[in-house]
Structure 1
Amino acid sequence: MAKNMCTQNNTVKSKVSVYSSGEELMMDVSQSRRYQIFLPLLKWFVRQGITPNHLTGLSLLCGTGFCFLIGLDQNWAVPAALVLLLLHILLDGIDGPLARFQGTAGNRGSFTDTTADQLVVTFTTIALIHSGLATVIAGSLYLFFYTLVVVFAMVRSSLAIPYSWLVRPRLIVYAWIPIEIVFLPGTLSFLLWICVGVLGWKSITGFIQIRNKL
């Protein structure tokens, strides 16, 4: 039965996507592997009545919790914040396979997941600036261009102008946070500047493509 459900879910495709064709291919492969790895957990979620929206909401709460803890002047705060950030990433990686397992994958779930991800990117960037882990200019420009790329991706999707490739380096930034704190203080802003350059270029090309289509 699970095999039939998996086959059925693999045929579910979203008509609207904010991802490039290359990203969609990578996501299909990645989610297929995660489906196989987390299959027992997905079955348990179904038995407990847990939906992808529940996981997305919990992922959002974990990401928000990171923002509240990272700036606290307590010995336990930073480790707890990093654990919450890790939980956010893990939950964000499971909601998609669960949606496919339940046969509920579609535009609404994709939009909800993208919105939750963007909220966490916004909150974490502000928290990194507030805690002094990132400079104001680097963090602000990173957040601006990251948001602009996501918005342009949605507009391009509605206009049927797919990206050949699209970079959203939030996971790289998240992974660098413990490196910034423990091993290489002061390097996170340098990474953000690199991201600003890449995201800025994609924003310019995205604007040109959208304008030419109108």
Structure 2
Amino acid sequence: MVNSNEIIDTLLDLQKQIEELKQILKDAERSNEAKMKEALFAYKENLTITLESMKAANNKHHEDQGKDIHNYQNIKEVAHGKISKQSTQYRKFISGNANDGNLNTFSHTNGGNAFWEVDLGRAFKIKQIEIFVRKDCCGERIGQLDILVGSSHNKLEKCAFYEGPAKTGFHLVLECPHIISGRYVKIEKRDSINLELAEVKVMAYDEN
């Protein structure tokens, strides 16, 4: 038979173990809470550092954009009066008529594989090319044009392509897909029709 004193001792021992277990759980909870607080604090610190870095990077980006705007704030026409040439010449219609600032004059080639080219004198950061079509007639002849830009005759990059046909008196604005640094601008026809240009304007940013 089990002694009553033994039962009491066993119950007391169980109660003691339960209290010890409760204390262990409390200690573990405190420890985990401290660890969680420590981890949360470290996370907040890292988050603050990340946010500050992002702010600094964003401010630098805006500063850089401001510098770009400052450097490229002046866009101007740079082909007027510069040395030009064309593949061939029809009668008195010289290549210089296409960049003399006069819309009543025009250049005119004679034969196929036609092109017109201007030497800007130095490299510019070119944004777009504007072509003015003759006002008196023959606008439909302007089409199938490759607009090329480059640092030399052998290093020309395509700025734009104009399929056409245009109409008499048209003003074409052909923008490059990105700013191209170049000294030479060439307008080249893909078909066998003469190239006739009332005026060509090269619009570029000037860092100077």
User: Which of the five TM-score ranges fits, normalised by the shorter chain?
Assistant: under 0.3
Higher strand content, 1 or 2: 2
TM-score by length of 1: 0.21
Rg comparison, structure with higher value: 2
TM-score by length of 2: 0.22
